[in-house]
Structure 1
């Protein structure tokens, strides 16, 4: 008989023990409050990069009390792109992290790359990455980027996928000059003509437009990379193994926040801008980003919001391998654990 195949996911889940918190009966002296405190699990999540309007679902789930209902006390930390987020996740500096699916696959398959993680729920069914340029720059197509200066976030998906994007768009990726910048700095660099184009996510383009007050050109990666996922929630292999119930409860509350944010962008934008972490950000920018994000969140065909389609993950992997972005193929379950969604 053939030897059974043991995948990384099945090993994680097969050894995972379900966790349950037993609340003891308490008297009228306030023992119930103490039991409630003991039952709350403190966790942290890294955003994709800094604080952007598209991160509103996290804050909505926290503000609405849905994390609290799940027994979780959630601290939101500013992420620094997929590569740095993975380093912090694997190193135990965060419980959860927002990761680009393709970026995570690239890191997982890189010789010596980080493998101590798994993806549990998908936030964006389509990749959001794009480049934005001023119309007067003369940039109209991806090939016009050759020889130009572009802003980027180190370890962010725009830079990680750029060689693949350039190959499929048929121009020389080595001719680009990159300028390292924090997310809030990108629009100013573009408007002041310090760069020719900026790395951005499509839902945020309207916010750039409001600042630039002049016509823009948007070059979405999906024009050439048609079947790539966007962001997902990742956890370390240790967390998946030892606290699967915490992971499921977190995903359930977060995806509730995600669905609510898409259905109620105006309210969610206000919630986002009112948080202590996001002070100074404009409500209208967050609302615009949430409205622009709707088409990227809603499932492909009948796939529910937040759930991975393993067939699409397989195609995501195949596209990256075919373009030479990863050295070898992997199985979808090597990197995705759909049983931990909630």
Structure 2
């Protein structure tokens, strides 16, 4: 009897000791992610998801690099050098139609496009037409630059009369402030950053959404191979990222501080201001009233985006909406 009691006490201890000696059976999946365009407040949500443990809880180890624009990010995801990245959906329609790259949207960040051209009010450019004869700066792979011919067509601008200067994302605000260029490509949420760089001078914004109301903005993409072979990871990553996005727009001050922790050159106050602006592009009546949540894919709006891009760029073989997105991670439907 005593012998049985001793064994009964020892066996659990041995099992516990063996468990402690073993490495964690569930190793975190390594994930490579690039921001949309530099490291501004609009991309803070990925760092929030890291800091608050959303990725860790999903079994993911996410490494973040600075993106240089939608076209570059699309190609890197298609080539397998990135697992996920935010890209402009309009730019994706063009790139996928022209090059047939095997990537799909798995979540939508901005339910409307934030693309815009910023100028200093003191430059005297009061209408889009007055951009003719001027020099604008942006990254060659930037969404704003890629879609500019379409914006120009709708806004009555002769795009051939606009000169573009190549510049990296971090350099754009200073180029505008120093009057080295007449305007820069930016997202609407970038207004606080550009205003600060310009010493508080008034900024005039020409928003693409004014003449292109049917365009979706940024979406998260993954490769078709990743979606097919590892849908569980796609779901886990996307849902964790969207938790970071939802928390960021509700807590912009804290999210800005988290961004500054990971990116020391980021100004937490400016980042928070960007997120306050971005909230109006992330949420709409579908994400709120219908309870679909941030990231929801509006297939009707996606079809509208494809139509606008097809007509503007005269794409010979437009991409069907079903080939552009996957509903593996978030709701994807046409609102009633």
- Structure 2 length-normalised TM: 0.89
Aligned with 1:128 (options 114, 117, 127) = 114
Q: Deviations over 1:155-209 (max 9, x none)?
A: 1111111110000011200111111111111111111111000111101112211
Stretches of structure 2 that go unaligned for 5 or more consecutive residues are 1-13, 332-336
Alpha-carbon offset, residue 27 of structure 1: 3.4
Specify the SS of the correspondent of 2:136. strand
More relative contact order in 1 or in 2 (CA 8 Å, sep 6+)? Answer: 1
Structure 1 position 108 matched with structure 2 position 93: no
Structure 1 position 254 matched with structure 2 position 241: yes
Pair 1:118–1:296, CA change in 2 (3 A): same
Pair 1:255–1:95, CA change in 2 (3 A): same
Instruction: Give the whole-Å Cα distance in 2 for the aligned partners of 1:44 and 1:222.
Output: 31
Structure 1 position 226 matched with structure 2 position 213: yes
Alignment of 1:302-317 (within 5 A): 302=290, 303-317=292-306
Number of residue pairs aligned between Structure 1 and Structure 2: 313
Specify the SS of the correspondent of 2:43. helix
Q: What residue is the counterpart of 1:186 in the other structure? A: 172
The farther-off stretch of 235-244 and 327-336 is 327-336
Stretches of structure 1 that go unaligned for 5 or more consecutive residues are 1-25
Structure showing greater radius of gyration is 2
- Structure 1 length-normalised TM: 0.88
Aligned with 1:286 (options 255, 271, 285) = 271
Alpha-carbon offset, residue 100 of structure 1: 0.7
2:116, 2:208 within 8 Å by CA — same for their partners in 1?
A: yes
Give the root-mean-square deviation of aligned CA atoms.
1.6
Q: What residue is the counterpart of 2:203 in the other structure? A: 216
Alpha-carbon offset, residue 114 of structure 1: 3.9
Alpha-carbon offset, residue 328 of structure 1: 3.2
Specify the SS of the correspondent of 1:28. helix
Specify the SS of the correspondent of 2:15. coil
Q: Deviations over 1:22-61 (max 9, x none)?
A: xxxx932363685536431010111111211111110111
Alignment of 1:1-342 (within 5 A): 27-29=15-17, 31=19, 34-36=22-24, 38-110=26-98, 113-212=99-198, 213-275=200-262, 278-301=263-286, 302=290, 303-324=292-313, 326-341=315-330
Alpha-carbon offset, residue 285 of structure 1: 1.1
Q: Deviations over 1:285-316 (max 9, x none)?
A: 11111111010000354453101011110011
